[in-house]
């Protein structure tokens, strides 16, 4: 058997398994990538809310990642929730010295509205992490926080995507922008310009970890060696399939169906 590509997620842990590094690892597995992880913070959460957060020491975060790099051929890296300025600085120094593509999901707030990154740390993320990224994947709220551009409309998201792109990343995907007719748009900005990926909104509230899943799917595509535009479009399709396959668990924002989505993607090939 051929060896699968390896991806590393540097992200927070979700005890309910729907978001964070758990969603990343499920996505990697569903898309034929061997997943590894470095935990940045631990949350006590479920589909209803976040009860507690503990950010790990920066040296421990970096030590986990270096242990992976020292032994495995990492083909792509994803950053999720980093927690505070000290971890951001440590991870920024780490990724400055790596070659694999870097996908940055600037996690700032949970699906339940719980803040996961202080304002000062968000500014540090924009200064030190975003410019090094291959792809940055904020939702509309995170894009607004990083740029100061209102991103609640497609035109606003286009402005925010261009502002983020000017910070240095090769590509920006502002996700989940609603349209007046009930559809959802991802705004993609690359050196080829700005385009819109539009799909019908998947009904219901089973969307916990959708941003994590989307950015992890891009990471998986890049680990497989896909061109950047192809990886972005394939990740969108996988995320929609995972939303449609949600198992209906929990009393709040339920998790996605990663493995069912992987089977659906395989069947469509």
Taking the C-alpha atoms of residue 143 and residue 152, their distance in angstroms, rounded to an integer, is: 10
Residue 194, pLDDT > 80, answer yes
CATH architecture of 6-268: 3-Layer(aba) Sandwich (3.40)
Residue 269, pLDDT > 80, answer no
Per-residue confidence (pLDDT) for residue 112, from 0 to 100? 58
> How many other C-beta atoms are found inside a 10 Å radius of the C-beta of residue 227?
10
Q: At what angle do helices 20-30 and 258-268 cross, to 10 degrees?
A: 30
Digit-coded pLDDT (tens) for 152-174: 999 999 999 999 999 999 999 99
Q: What is the mean pLDDT of residues 186-199?
A: 94
Mean pLDDT of the chain: 93
Q: By three-state DSSP, how is residue 162 classified?
A: helix
222 — pLDDT class (breaks 50, 70, 90): very high
Residue 255, pLDDT > 90, answer yes
Taking the C-alpha atoms of residue 147 and residue 130, their distance in angstroms, rounded to an integer, is: 11
Per-residue confidence (pLDDT) for residue 108, from 0 to 100? 85
- How would DSSP label each residue in 70-96? HHS-EEEEEE----SHHHHHHHHHHHT
* In the chain, domain spans: 6-268
Digit-coded pLDDT (tens) for 84-133: 999 999 999 999 999 999 999 999 876 656 677 888 888 999 999 999 99
The model's pTM is: 0.96
203 — pLDDT class (breaks 50, 70, 90): confident
Integer-rounded Cα radius of gyration of the chain: 17
């Amino acid at each position: 058997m051929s060896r699968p590509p390896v991806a590393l997620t540097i992200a927070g842990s979700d005890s309910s398994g729907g978001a964070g590094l758990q969603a990343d690892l499920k996505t990697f597995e569903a898309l034929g990538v061997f997943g590894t992880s470095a935990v940045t913070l631990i949350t006590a959460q479920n589909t209803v809310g976040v009860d507690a957060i503990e950010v790990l020491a920066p040296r421990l975060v970096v030590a986990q990642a270096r242990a992976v790099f020292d032994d495995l051929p990492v083909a792509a890296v994803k950053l999720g929730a980093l927690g505070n300025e000290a971890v951001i600085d440590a991870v920024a120094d780490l990724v400055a010295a790596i070659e694999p593509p870097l996908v940055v999901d600037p996690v700032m707030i949970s699906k339940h509205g719980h803040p996961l990154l202080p304002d000062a740390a968000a500014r540090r993320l924009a200064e030190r992490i975003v410019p090094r990224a291959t792809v940055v994947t904020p939702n509309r709220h995170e894009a607004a926080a990083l740029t100061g551009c209102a991103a609640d409309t497609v035109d606003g998201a286009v402005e925010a995507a261009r502002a983020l792109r000017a910070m240095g990343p090769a590509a920006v995907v502002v996700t989940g922008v609603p349209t007046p007719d009930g559809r959802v748009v991802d705004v993609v900005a690359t050196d080829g310009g700005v385009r819109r990926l539009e799909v019908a909104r998947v009904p219901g509230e089973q969307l916990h970890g959708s941003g994590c899943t989307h950015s992890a799917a891009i990471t998986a595509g890049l680990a497989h060696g896909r061109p950047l535009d192809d990886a972005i479009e394939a990740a969108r399709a996988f995320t929609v399939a995972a939303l449609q396959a949600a198992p209906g668990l929990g009393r709040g924002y339920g998790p996605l169906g990663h493995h069912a989505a992987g089977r659906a993607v395989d069947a469509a090939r």
